């Protein structure tokens, strides 16, 4: 049973690394999400170590993580707020989110300031009786009270964002990326809410020495399964690594009312900015390189490949390959008009336009002009 905690922790650390290192269209939201998965990974790992009976091998992994766990509500709330507002602005009321963290700093600091025998006794009790470790007393609160408080704060943060989230998912529903984002946010919110609820049940069970459900181990098992699900569910939503800009920057006055239809059309990437970057790539003639594909193009533009493909489809009605070939055919026709074939072969023309072979170039050229390159040159010459 405890192995699922280890798996969830490993998945979480991998996801954290990807979120922190991956370029994103919403870097602040991505950092907040990565911060949450880091906390969840440490939480799952310590639960695996202590509840699984491995604390003797990792005795250093004790007490101090309490401070991290009591930050749970912070990245969760900030992530949803940033995604829905497409920005993050600090507000004084956010200080309330840090109350569990402040109390844990005080309690953990108090224990570390005590004689070493106090810490060693606490560690010994966790080693010999891990099931009852939540009853340990600090200074202000017991460990089970810390657990109850942090997850009450987590649940409160999720309930606060819920009305805004429900309004948010109603907007821009004709946009493919927005539909994916809506599904992710609903699944993520639901998973976090279940996590908070069952963690609260677990804390209450330990505080009152009762079993809320029949079978004393049911609540922790469900809690571990929920943690595992939250840790691995991003596999089904890989686009969350890149973020989602809400409204095209500079095109909508914040004081204007925006209809759902306008949001359907404008939700996505910065249209002017992307077109400007595409124009710059054409000026640099990168589309004439043989390895010019959607991945390399997106890397040059510092944006996710799936966002670029989506943008080109929405703006030009073409997939990326067709868009690239159209640019190459414009260059090919210009070269032919300038007399390139008078002193060069069709193979040289194909190579000049980014094609690896004459046959593939000729096929694309005929699809675009209804003529072979040589026939097109002859027609130009006759008309001239």
Distances 19 to 145, 170, 222, 382 between C-alpha atoms, Å: 32, 27, 27, 59
What does the alpha-carbon distance between residue 374 and residue 332 come to, in Å, rounded to a whole number?
A: 12
How many other CB atoms are found less than 10 A from the CB of residue 80? Answer: 25
pLDDT for 348 equals 92
Quick one: which of 268, 282, 281 has its CA closest to 311? 268
pLDDT for 265 equals 39
pLDDT for 72 equals 92
Residue 5 structure tokens: 């905690």
What does the alpha-carbon distance between residue 145 and residue 208 come to, in Å, rounded to a whole number?
A: 11
- Kindly give the confidence (pLDDT) of every residue in the chain, 384 residues in length, as a single tens digit, with 9 standing for 90 and above: 678 888 888 988 998 998 888 766 677 888 999 999 999 999 989 888 887 778 888 888 888 888 998 999 999 999 999 888 777 889 999 999 999 999 999 999 999 999 989 888 888 888 887 666 767 888 888 888 999 999 999 999 999 999 999 988 887 665 666 778 888 999 999 999 999 999 998 888 888 877 666 655 677 888 888 988 998 888 888 766 655 544 333 333 333 333 444 433 333 456 777 888 888 888 988 889 988 888 888 888 877 676 787 788 878 888 888 999 999 999 999 999 988 888 889 999 999 999 989 999 999 999 999 999 988 888 888 775
Residue 322 structure tokens: 């067709």
pLDDT for 176 equals 64
Residue with tokens 């040289």: 348
| Residues 150 and 70: beta-carbon distance below 8 Å | yes
What does the alpha-carbon distance between residue 37 and residue 210 come to, in Å, rounded to a whole number?
A: 31
What residues contact residue 194 under an 8 Å CB cut-off, 6+ apart?
226
Quick one: which of 19, 21, 48 has its CA closest to 130? 48
Give the side-chain half-sphere CA count within 13 A for 373.
28
> What letter would DSSP give residue 142?
B
pLDDT for 269 equals 55
What does the alpha-carbon distance between residue 169 and residue 244 come to, in Å, rounded to a whole number?
A: 13
């Amino acid at each position: 049973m405890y192995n699922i905690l280890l798996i969830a922790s490993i998945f979480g650390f991998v996801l954290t690394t990807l979120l922190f290192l991956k370029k994103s269209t919403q870097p602040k939201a991505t950092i907040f999400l990565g911060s949450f998965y880091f906390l969840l990974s440490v939480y799952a790992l310590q639960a695996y170590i202590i509840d699984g009976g491995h604390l003797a091998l990792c005795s250093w992994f004790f007490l101090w993580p309490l401070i991290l766990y009591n930050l749970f509500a912070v990245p969760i709330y900030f992530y949803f707020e940033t995604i829905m507002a497409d920005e993050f602005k600090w507000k004084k009321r956010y200080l309330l989110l840090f109350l569990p963290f402040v109390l844990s700093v005080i309690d953990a600091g108090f224990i570390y300031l005590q004689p070493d025998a106090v810490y060693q006794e606490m560690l010994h009790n966790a080693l010999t009786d891990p099931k009852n470790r939540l009853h340990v007393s600090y200074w202000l609160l017991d460990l089970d009270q810390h657990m109850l408080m942090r997850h009450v704060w987590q649940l409160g943060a999720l309930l606060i964002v819920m009305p805004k989230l429900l309004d948010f998912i109603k907007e821009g529903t004709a946009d493919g990326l927005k539909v994916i984002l809506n599904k992710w946010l609903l699944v993520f919110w639901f998973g976090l809410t279940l996590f908070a609820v069952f963690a609260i049940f677990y804390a209450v069970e330990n505080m009152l020495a009762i079993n809320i459900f029949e079978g004393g181990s049911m609540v922790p098992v469900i809690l571990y399964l929920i943690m595992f699900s939250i840790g691995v569910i991003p596999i089904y939503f890989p686009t969350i690594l890149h973020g989602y800009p809400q409204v095209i920057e500079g095109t909508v006055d914040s004081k204007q009312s925006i209809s759902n239809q306008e949001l359907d059309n404008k939700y996505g990437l910065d249209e002017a900015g992307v077109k400007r970057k595409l124009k710059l790539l054409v000026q640099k003639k990168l589309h004439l390189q043989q390895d010019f594909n959607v991945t390399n193009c997106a890397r040059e533009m510092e944006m996710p490949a799936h966002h670029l493909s989506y943008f080109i489809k929405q703006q030009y009605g073409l997939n990326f390959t067709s868009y690239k070939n159209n640019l190459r055919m414009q260059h090919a026709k210009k070269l032919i008009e300038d007399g390139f074939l008078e002193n060069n072969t069709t193979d040289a023309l194909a190579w000049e336009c980014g094609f690896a072979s004459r046959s593939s170039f000729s096929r694309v050229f005929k699809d675009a002009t209804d003529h072979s390159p040589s026939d097109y040159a002859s027609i130009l010459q006759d008309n001239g």
